[in-house]
Amino acid sequence: MSGPGAPDNGLQPERTLLAWQRTLFGLVAAVLLYLRIPVGDTPGGAAGRLLVVSVLLGACAVLVVHLRWRWRRPSPARTARPAPLARPWTLVLLSAVVTGLAVATALSALLR
């Protein structure tokens, strides 16, 4: 048992990290499966495929950097400041990626 002043973080931070890692692995798997589609079946040809893969791999890279940074810094429970909410840039980035994927999916469905 910990002392009276030591906070108990429980497993919440680890579960959150594992959930983000599963999301990252799923995104990488989606990119790899997308690359298996023949180039002639994708709208925009090779240039469109390169754009989609670049955006998805860029999102993966940002997610990896963000996870490493969050995991390496000290626990918010051990600092005097309150825990921060999600950073505005992460919300904007996530919204932009999801919107871009939705637009790409809609365009690929309409152009077939």
Q: Over the stretch 65-75, which tens digit does the pLDDT of each residue have? A: 887 777 766 66
Cβ atoms of residues 45 and 52 within 8 Å: no
Closest CA relative to residue 93, chosen from 57, 62, 49: 62
Report CA 65 to chain centroid distance, whole Å: 10
pTM above 0.75, yes or no: no
For residue 55, give the amino acid letter: V
Counting as low any pLDDT under 70, the low residues of the chain are 1-10, 72-86
